Amino acid sequence: MKNLRHAMIKEIIAQEIIETQEDLADALRAHDIQVTQATVSRDIKELMLIKIPIGDGRYRYASPTKESVIFTPDRVKRLFEDTVTSVDMSENIVVVKTLPGSANTVAAALDHADWSEIIGTVAGDDNILVVAKPKTAAKTVVARIRELMNDTPATQRKSQE
94 and 146 part of one domain = yes
pTM reported for the whole predicted model: 0.57
Give the residue-averaged pLDDT of 97-102: 91
pLDDT tens digit sequence for 2-15: 889 999 999 999 99
Q: Quick one: pLDDT at residue 65?
A: 64
Q: Quick one: pLDDT at residue 137?
A: 96
Q: Quick one: pLDDT at residue 89?
A: 97
Number of structural domains found in the chain:
2
CB 96 within 8 A of CB 126: no
CATH number at residue 50: 1.10.10.10
**Sequence-distant contacts of 146-155: CB under 8 A, at least 24 apart:** 146/87, 148/76, 148/77, 148/80, 148/81, 148/84, 149/80, 149/81, 149/84, 149/87, 150/77, 150/80, 150/81, 151/87
84 and 41 part of one domain = no
